[in-house]
A and B are shown apart, each in its own frame.
Chain A
Amino acid sequence: MGLKPQNLHKEPILNCSVTFKINGEERNVSIQPWVSLLDCLRDHLNLTGTKKGCDHGQCGACTVLCDGKRILSCLTLAVMKDGAEITSVEGIAKGDDLHPIQQAFIDHDAFQCGYCTPGQICSAIGLLNEGKAGSREEVKELMSGNLCRCGANVGIIDAIMQVKDGGSYE
């Protein structure tokens, strides 16, 4: 019953020109409409920091910030983000200066294999931007969209609590 990849559109499908600001730099790509933002970052822009876990919205590994908000790049088409400002994990540190969240992840052993980490870090910054999490319980609930197969969750929540309650994260 499976369909082979095919063009169901009656007209030829042209590549779309998409311009976004990625990690502060304006980039233009000519891209097919069905390419996800995740594949666009990794395969077209060579930004491989953002990871593909499930490719179905179920793990959070592909989390990036779009206009300051955390989203899943695997369920977003690159064409839908023309004109947007995207921050991936490569854009979090300022040169050699780690973002406080990155430092806190190191301080709290908030990873083992590191595969979920880029998504966790972008998600944590999104959470801090949103400003909706007060208690540790709320932080856990609002970080539930990022799974960690290594089970570093306690360290991850510790790291976020440190930055949140310790003040500055910008």
Chain B
Amino acid sequence: MNNFGYKQAEDTREAISLIEHNETAKFVAGGTNLIDLWKYNIANPSQLIDINHLAELSEIKTLEHGGLRLGAGVKNADTAYHPVVEHQYPLLSKAILAGASAQIRNMASNGGNLLQRTRCYYFYDAEVPCNKRIPGSGCPAKDGYNRIHAILGTSEHCIAVFPSDMCVALAALDAVVNITGPTGNRSIAFADFHRLPDNRPDLDNNLKKDELITSIDLPEKGFAANYAYLKLRDRHSYAFALVSVATALELKGNTIEDVKIALGGVAHKPWRSTEAEEFLKGKAANAENFSIAADLILQGAKGFGYNEFKIKLAKKAIIRNGLMALNPESQLPGAQPSA
């Protein structure tokens, strides 16, 4: 652990100017990931810039064209329990509440959730090589204990998984990430926010070092009638996903008019397949079609020994979750399967 300086930013402009002039400074929001990584000697910030007092980041508000803007500084719990989120975007609410614990959700911010780092054991151990931590040092997970690791989109350099639950729902809902930085504002579609490891596993996402997430926009369509989030893990609660699935359906009778399916726990980013979603459109919402869609989503899936089981588990989870989305009320608390 290293020592660091601390400064509270008064507004967005000050936050950007502080980070722009210090290469090794870091923003801190809830601190639930950064302070943990600092204690493990994985993050070594020279200065923390506290962004908890930025008014601009602290609101949830409806957008003119019907969507919802989630401030990056709003806590995960306040987002999940916000009346509009509960009613219009229950899939998001459910995914957030399946993550971490009540205490952590009271601390964790929406922006920080997007930027949380992998829980790969080798990444978390400062004494061993890891391409994500020290580019070029190697990836012990590929031939090591890789039970929690990725089956899709891996590279020879990294098989780490992005661990967020909230982001699986945000991916399914086609959210947009709003960013500000020294050169102005920009927005990134959720699908383009996180990256695959390729030959740069040290980069989790496309945010630049001196940029600040200000908010996340949800489009108007929230799929509130037919949705489900299923999280499968080693422990009933307070554990990261081995496999998770967010399913959002728009139905006419039993026919699928529109569908979004995103997977968590299987790749370096929430995983979607346009091919599978296109296949399902116009089809009946039944196990047979969800099974074909699952095969399309899992095309090219590859295990590394201890995580082989995820391929079968993901297939079953996609089918099960599709059926649960037909009757969201059937789900037990905590993103468990239906009774």
Q: Which residues of B contact A (CB under 8 A)?
A: 1-6, 24, 28, 30-32, 35-36, 38-41, 44-48, 50, 52, 77, 81, 100-104, 106-107, 126-127, 134, 236-238, 332-334
B48 partner residues in chain A, CB cutoff 8 A: 33, 77
- Contact across chains for A63 and B103 when beta carbons are under 8 A apart: yes
Given contacts A57-B32, A76-B107, contact A2 B102 (CB under 8 A): no
- Contact across chains for A70 and B103 when beta carbons are under 8 A apart: yes
- Contact across chains for B107 and A3 when beta carbons are under 8 A apart: no
User: How many whole Å from A37's CB to the nearest CB in chain B?
Assistant: 10
- Contact across chains for B1 and A5 when beta carbons are under 8 A apart: yes
- Contact across chains for A72 and B4 when beta carbons are under 8 A apart: no
Kindly list the 4 A-B residue pairs having the minimum CB-CB distance in the complex, ordered from nearest. Answer: A145-B101, A33-B6, A144-B237, A8-B46
Given contacts A36-B35, A72-B107, contact A130 B102 (CB under 8 A): yes
A1 partner residues in chain B, CB cutoff 8 A: 126-127, 134
User: How many whole Å from A1's CB to the nearest CB in chain B?
Assistant: 6
Which listed residue (A2, A72, A123, A135) contacts B127, Cβ 8 A? A2
User: How many whole Å from A126's CB to the nearest CB in chain B?
Assistant: 7
Which listed residue (B3, B31, B77, B332) contacts A5, Cβ 8 A? B3
Q: What are 28 pairs between A and B in contact, CB < 8 Å?
A: A1-B134, A3-B2, A3-B41, A5-B2, A6-B2, A7-B4, A8-B24, A9-B3, A9-B47, A13-B4, A57-B104, A60-B103, A71-B107, A75-B30, A75-B32, A76-B31, A76-B35, A76-B107, A77-B35, A127-B102, A130-B77, A130-B102, A137-B332, A142-B102, A144-B236, A144-B237, A144-B238, A145-B102
- Contact across chains for A34 and B1 when beta carbons are under 8 A apart: yes
User: How many whole Å from B21's CB to the nearest CB in chain A?
Assistant: 10
User: How many whole Å from A6's CB to the nearest CB in chain B?
Assistant: 5
Within 8 A of B (CB), among A64-123: 69-72, 75-77, 79-80, 123
Q: How far is the CA of A141 from the CA of B36 in the complex (A)?
A: 24
Closest B residue by C-beta to A62: B103
Is A162 part of the contact surface with B, judged by Cβ < 8 Å?
no
B334 partner residues in chain A, CB cutoff 8 A: 141, 144
Given contacts A9-B5, A34-B4, A75-B32, contact A55 B39 (CB under 8 A): yes
Within 8 A of B (CB), among A1-32: 1-3, 5-11, 13, 16, 32
- Contact across chains for A80 and B104 when beta carbons are under 8 A apart: no
- Contact across chains for A16 and B6 when beta carbons are under 8 A apart: yes
- Contact across chains for A145 and B3 when beta carbons are under 8 A apart: no
Given contacts A1-B127, A33-B5, contact A70 B106 (CB under 8 A): yes
Closest A residue by C-beta to B335: A141
Q: How far is the CA of A5 from the CA of B50 in the complex (A)?
A: 22
Closest A residue by C-beta to B52: A80
Q: Could you say which of B6, B50, B101, B104 has the most chain A C-beta atoms within 10 Å of its C-beta? A: B101
Which listed residue (B6, B38, B104, B126) contacts A145, Cβ 8 A? B104
Q: How far is the CA of A142 from the CA of B101 in the complex (A)?
A: 7
Given contacts A75-B32, A77-B31, contact A70 B6 (CB under 8 A): no
Which listed residue (A7, A75, A147) contacts B31, Cβ 8 A? A75
